[in-house]
Structure 1
Amino acid sequence: MGGAVTGAGLAALALRYAAGTARADRSWPVQVESRLRNLGEVDEVSILPVVERLTRDGGELVGEPGLSYLVRAGGTRLLFDVGLSGGRDRSALVRNAGHLDVDLRDLDAVVISHRHADHVGGVGAMRRHTFAFAGEPLEPAGVPAYVPTDMHHDRARVVPTTGPRVVAPGVAVLPPLPRMLFWLGAVAEQALLVNVRGFGLVLISGCGHPPIERMLGVAELVLDVPIRAVVGGLHLPVHPVGTPLLPQAILGSPHPPWQPIGEADVAHVLDEITARGPRVVALSGHDSTPWTMNEFGRRLGDRYRTLRVGEELLISAARSRSAEGAG
């Protein structure tokens, strides 16, 4: 009886997966109604990981399998995602922000890449279609929060993203792109773009579910500016056994269980990225394994960075380097 129920459940999941994948594929290529003609430029962008699985040397910072970056571009300060642990007493975001002198009350905007627990502050926030801002109120109330799907927040001014949108001079969000995951179901994910004068576009990704080649393709549709940096999560937990990323490998996979994310997926992603001639590729460890990070380093050489809490990534025409950062 139990086997029959399990078999029926898997069959239902397989049917849902096939239908959802077909819907996502029918939405591609994306029909972009308008280009970003008035995006503007910034001289430099700073990306400071406040939540990541890996941390810089030193014991005061904590890692978790989530993602949150403080992005400073021109005079704009925005928070890209809010990590996994949303409660005040156990929040990696609050603890790390304190140690890094990042004032979470001083933000111009919040951008949520997609509604998964490791980006919105936990499973509870995900189920409630909100984001848990680590127990801290947004100050001032009414800070815009750009979200890719139906979400709400008690204090933020929630702005659903339906197309490419300028959120600050030189900074934009891409339209959310759909992807079907076998276990977790449909997800819509948006990326952040920063146009750096004399350098090109910096694309910041939460997980790269759509997948990344579609994110890159949409960026190229909306702007005639070369993509010179890819930063963030790409969900490549290859060879996860013996690492903390086995749950991500199973639950977040775009493939059915009998076809796990593998080395060929990493090679494909690297081919798509390197075809754009990037100067910087910085990979999150919240959803990629050591094997993947080593392969990125092997293929990309000195263009590659591993993202760690507390290590600021600075990108401008004159420099693209990592440093220990402060907010």
Structure 2
Amino acid sequence: MLLTALVENTRLGNRPDLKVERGLSFHAETMGKQILFDAGNSQAFCDNAKRLNINMKSVDAAVISHHHNDHCNGVTHFLSLNSTAPVFIRDCENIEYVFKAFGFRNNVGFNKGVLKQSPNRFVFVDTLTEIYPDIFIVTELSNKHSLPKGNKYLFTQSDTGYHADTFKHELLLIVKEDDGIVIFTGCAHNGVLNMLETTVQLFPGSRIKAVVGGFHLVGLPLFNSIGGSKNDIEAIGETLLSYPVDKLYTGHCTGIKAYGILKNVLGDRLEYFPTGRSLTI
């Protein structure tokens, strides 16, 4: 698999020409297919793709990890460049998604106008779906481990008021190549450990080459605080070590402080994955 970070909160130091935003988007070439995983919050990932010599018209399918705007609002720009690729997204309630903390409130949900403008392009999934041979969307996730503590600031809003987000709008992408599995987590609001546990249950005994994406270990993004305590993050790192994973590539909502704590536990098994970085897994 050839994997490229199209947009993330940071960028390679030698690529000041690339745009950054608080969002996420990856491009993967695997088994004869090109997959866009998440689309950031704007046109930035498309602009970066052009600078990185990646043609959005050649993408076979897009997969949106969850209904938060920093992962899916950019899809409107993808649809304007690519006229054929389906966009897979989790089927869920028609509700609003909100960040709330200390009296501050912000809508963080998907721009639903895109769904109305291009309804024939979206494929809503609510069960295990093999979109291409050995490329799977998983919607039923393990609850063996605790959820990220930073989730406490995220809510849904409906006619009955605000409720803690259950993240039933999140999915997991698993690519099963001949030499092992690559897992795409998005923000891992359901917990990176639960996503790993789900994969181990679905594919027992399989090598996991890499876990790629955010782990949502940030608390308040504006202040780059950690969700929970240092001991909590270290415990997650220790549990990650118990799973059969070769490498973890992360960024975005993991947060710089939490990344540093995890790095001390995981060492070379963990690497940051900024905008513009490409790697072969």
Q: Structure 1 residues 288, 212: closer, same or farther in 2, change over 3 A?
A: closer
Note the alpha carbon deviations across 1:207-254, whole angstroms, 9 max, x for none.
Answer: 11011222122212222223332111001126x6xxxx22786xxx9x
5 Å-filtered alignment, 1:1-327, equals 45-56=1-12, 57-85=14-42, 91-121=43-73, 132-134=75-77, 137-141=80-84, 143-150=85-92, 152=115, 154-155=117-118, 157-175=121-139, 177=141, 181-185=152-156, 186=165, 187=167, 188-198=169-179, 200-224=180-204, 225-237=206-218, 245-246=221-222, 260-284=227-251, 286-315=252-281
Amino acid at match of 1:300: L
1:162-209 Cα shifts (integer Å, max 9, x gaps)? 2222112231111154977444232221111111323x2111111110
Shift of residue 292, structure 1, vs aligned partner:
1.7
What letter matches 1:79 in structure 2?
L
- State whether residues 53 and 66 of structure 1, in contact with CA within 8 Å, keep that contact through their aligned partners in structure 2: yes
Aligned counterparts of 1:75 and 1:153: Cα–Cα separation in 2? 31
User: Counterpart of 2:186 in structure 1: which amino acid?
Assistant: G
Distance change (3 Å), C-alpha of 1:107 and 1:237: same
- How far the C-alpha of 1:112 sits from its partner, in A, is 0.4
Count of paired positions: 240
Alpha carbons 1:280, 1:304 under 8 Å: kept:
yes
Residue identity opposite 2:56 in structure 1:
L
Q: Which amino acid aligns with 1:201?
A: I
> Identity of counterpart residues, as a percentage?
25
Q: Which residue of 2 aligns with 1:10?
A: none
* Structural RMSD (CA): 2.5
Counterpart CA distance in 2 for 1:248 and 1:165 is 35
Tell me, in whole angstroms, the C-alpha distance in 1 between the residues paired with 2:37 and 2:140.
Answer: 15
Contact 1:176 1:189 in 2 (8 A): no
Give, in angstroms, the shift of residue 268 of structure 1: 3.1
Amino acid at match of 1:282: Y
Deviation at 1:79, TM superposition (A): 0.5
- Three-state SS of the structure 2 residue aligned to 1:102 is coil
Q: 1:71 to 1:221 in 2, by over 3 A?
A: same
**CA distance in structure 2 between the partners assigned to 1:137 and 1:270 by the alignment:** 40
CA distance in 2, matches of 1:79, 1:48: 10
Is the 1:73–1:171 Cα contact (8 Å) retained in structure 2?
Answer: no
| 4+ residue segments displaced more than 6 Å | none
Structure with the higher fraction of residues in strand conformation: 2
> More deviation in 161-170 or 64-73?
161-170
Q: Structure 1 residues 182 and 272, CA, compared in 2 at 3 Å: closer, same or farther?
A: same
Give 1:246's aligned amino acid. Answer: L
Q: What one-letter code is carried by the residue in structure 2 that aligns with 1:294?
A: G
Residue deviations 1:52-87 (CA, integer Å, cap 9, x gap): 0111122111111100000111110011010012xx
Measured in 2, the distance between the counterparts of 1:234 and 1:119 equals: 14
TM-score (norm 2): 0.77
Structure 1 gap ranges (5+): 1-44, 86-90, 122-130, 254-259, 316-327
Q: Does the 8 Å CA contact 2:208/2:246 hold for their aligned counterparts?
A: no
Structure 2 unaligned residues grouped into runs of 5+: 93-111, 157-164
SS of the equivalent of 2:245 reads coil
**Once the two structures are superposed, what CA deviation does each residue of 1:88-113 show, in whole Å capped at 9, x if it has no partner?**
xxx21122112111111221101000
